[in-house]
Structure 1
């Protein structure tokens, strides 16, 4: 696994580099918020561990810009900001998981493995899926979704949701099933979080002709143009 750790605490990133490095993982460290996005683009890591309080630029701003650029790397936020509002803000900005400092190294390792595994499974599901109609295409190598030859810049959660809906276009998919696919094994996430992901995906689909419809009591349905 190739990891990018964006953290300015020297003692912490030294400890994490040594501990995770013993697992055979490749750890790249960036301690400056202003340089983080450039390192992210260049490295193309499997997972990003991101602190929020950084010199030069706040971690939430880095994350928001990365998602706007279409960088879909799973992100685990590591921060001393442990309030519920902080976690919600981070998740809404596009983070995939959140771990408050201080944390247990075994828990960190387990969460990183889960993010990596889920991201790999999303790509595997995309490669196995048939080509979608109406100008949509699932790239079997990258897992990216294209519309009329242009890649849709989607964060991991919106990508997972759209992949699930494209597998059954025109059919209702239960919210419970979608929640399992978008938030696998994340029992701490509230069930209503799937509505936030659906709202963001609906905005991303504007202009494609596809319509994401909410079916009360049933789930969601993706209508594709003829």
Structure 2
């Protein structure tokens, strides 16, 4: 197979071998790769199968939606620009089907607004072409670790702040005994807040911890996700998530 090396940068097989990830039932992680560049999907498929994952590919948006419904992937690599419908529409359809599968957007565009658009649409990460293959695989592994596939390293997986409870093993969240459904990114953001109760966390700290990189000072994505959390965690209840003007955000037990 001939690979177009202009699609990747700085790829190397010299990194230390990482432990293979598995689903909770012991079966292989399922990944869906969506891109109209056949050489790219071949390259990513080969890399992810080397990780021990089960991989399916799609070259068009509507095809990706069909496969996602049948295959039920654990993570999706999704190109923004597709021949029929764009990646944002694909993500919207996947989310409307009730699937909170972590999604990493892949695109040739490097504009900041495109990154923001992908993440605020419900995506969980973003990589631009050309990209490092090792970095992309590492980010996918990070998304998988946030999901229910991997047991948390913490001795006690249950984090409690006031009447809010988060289980890092099962990825369940409860407020006063009522379940709260969160996306993978919302869960990671809430976990960071709950692991640091009564501590003001800046937008830069949140970007670095939850998304692992910044947005050149444009931090509206944090505001948007804080808003999402408030609607789910604080809706109809005493507020736990607070804005500290000019400083950041803090989570503390409700009075």
Range of TM-score over shorter length: 0.7 to 0.9
* TM superposition shift of 1:149: 6.0
The verdict on how the C-alpha distance between 1:208 and 1:31 changes in structure 2, with shifts beyond 3 A counting, is farther
Taking the aligned partners of 1:17 and 1:121, their CA distance within structure 2 comes to 20
Taking the aligned partners of 2:159 and 2:234, their CA distance within structure 1 comes to 23
Taking the aligned partners of 1:14 and 1:80, their CA distance within structure 2 comes to 17
* 2:157 corresponding residue in structure 1: 128
Q: Deviations over 1:68-89 (max 9, x none)?
A: 6664332211122332222221
Taking the aligned partners of 1:42 and 1:126, their CA distance within structure 2 comes to 36
Unaligned runs of 5+ in 2: 1-28
Matched, 1:174 2:201: yes
* 1:24 corresponding residue in structure 2: 52
Q: Aligned to 1:174, what secondary structure does the other structure show?
A: coil
TM-score by length of 1: 0.76
Aligned length: 223
Matched, 1:153 2:181: yes
* 2:22 corresponding residue in structure 1: none
Q: Greater helix share, 1 or 2? A: 1
* TM superposition shift of 1:13: 1.6
* 2:134 corresponding residue in structure 1: 106
RMSD: 3.4
* TM superposition shift of 1:35: 4.2
* 1:115 corresponding residue in structure 2: 143
* 1:51 corresponding residue in structure 2: 79
| Rg comparison, structure with higher value | 2
* 2:244 corresponding residue in structure 1: 215
* 2:67 corresponding residue in structure 1: 39
Residues 203-212 or 153-162, more deviating? 203-212
**Aligned pair partner of 2:170 in 103, 127, 142:** 142
- On the 8 A contact 1:126/1:163 being kept in 2, the answer is no
* 2:13 corresponding residue in structure 1: none
The verdict on how the C-alpha distance between 1:195 and 1:147 changes in structure 2, with shifts beyond 3 A counting, is same
* TM superposition shift of 1:139: 4.0
The verdict on how the C-alpha distance between 1:97 and 1:190 changes in structure 2, with shifts beyond 3 A counting, is farther
- On the 8 A contact 2:162/2:252 being kept in 1, the answer is no
- On the 8 A contact 1:8/1:55 being kept in 2, the answer is yes
* 1:60 corresponding residue in structure 2: 88
* TM superposition shift of 1:191: 6.6
* 1:202 corresponding residue in structure 2: 230
* 1:94 corresponding residue in structure 2: 122
TM-score by length of 2: 0.69
Q: Deviations over 1:194-214 (max 9, x none)?
A: 333213322334534142220
- On the 8 A contact 1:128/1:140 being kept in 2, the answer is yes
* 2:36 corresponding residue in structure 1: 8
* TM superposition shift of 1:121: 10
